[in-house]
Amino acid sequence: MSGGADTTSSVTVIDHPLIEHKLTLLRMATTPTGEFRRLTREISLLMGYEVLRDLPLQPVDIQTPLEPMTARQVSGKKLCFISILRAGNGILDGMIDLVPSARIGHVGVYRDPASHLPIEYYFKVPDDVAERLTIVVDPMLATGHSAVAAITRLKRAGARGVKYVCLIAAPEGVAVLREAHPDVPIFTAAIDRALDENAYIRPGLGDAGDRLFGTK
């Protein structure tokens, strides 16, 4: 499928031509940090249109320069975007461009280099997260352990209606997240071949955090 979204069960691969084109540039080893950051932001904004397709609307009476009319606007409380630190902030920027009034939360999780299991070091979300649609963002869904840990923590804080957004997923990570949180829909721009022995996605794009922030 081209120019839309390929949906299988709870996993949606958003394969718009512009997303595929920009993702190709993002994958290239020669793409410099500044360009990598810009592309990540642009892809995230484009993905946001599909991720937020089902936002509820309500009628509102307005006055145009020519006459009054009844139009529609998003109803309910504002969204809440949750970034899994640190790489999630790359996607967060594009999502905020799309919904500037959204509330923001952060979950700090790093992967133990030996066990590949997540260790939480920071958690700060809006107090009323239970009343908001919650979008969790992180560029790479590799083993799935960080995503599961972050969503589990959010649910403990009361979050409901959670969605998960990444740029690239591994089949192993998708399986782990779906098993732990079958109610959470996954949105991604690509599902790659597999994880390697170091739990990196192949072919992937390398370490998203390092490439976003120029730390390697």
Determine if residue 143 is labeled as part of a ligand binding site: yes
Q: Is 138 annotated as a binding residue?
A: yes
Residue 191, annotated as binding a ligand: no
What whole-number distance in Å separates Cα of residue 137 and Cα of residue 139?
A: 7
Angle CA 73–161–38, to nearest 5: 70
Please tell me whether 69 is known to bind a ligand. no
Q: Is 207 annotated as a binding residue?
A: yes
17 is in an annotated binding site: no
Give the position of tokens 């030996």.
114
140 annotated as ligand-binding: yes
Report which DSSP code applies to 71: E
Report whether 208 belongs to an annotated binding site: yes
Contacts of 167 (CB under 8 A, 6+ apart): 23, 26, 40, 43, 44, 91, 139, 140, 188, 189, 190, 205, 208
What are the tokens at 135? 């979008």
Q: Is 139 annotated as a binding residue?
A: yes
146 is in an annotated binding site: yes
206 is known to lie in a ligand binding site: yes
Print burial letters for 12-21: b (CB count within 10 Å at least 16), e (below 16).
bbbbbeebee
**Residue at 185: amino acid letter:** P
Is 145 annotated in a binding site? The answer is yes
Binding positions for uracil are 201, 206-208
Binding positions for 5-phospho-alpha-D-ribose 1-diphosphate are 86, 111, 138-146, 207
Binding positions are 86, 111, 138-146, 201, 206-208
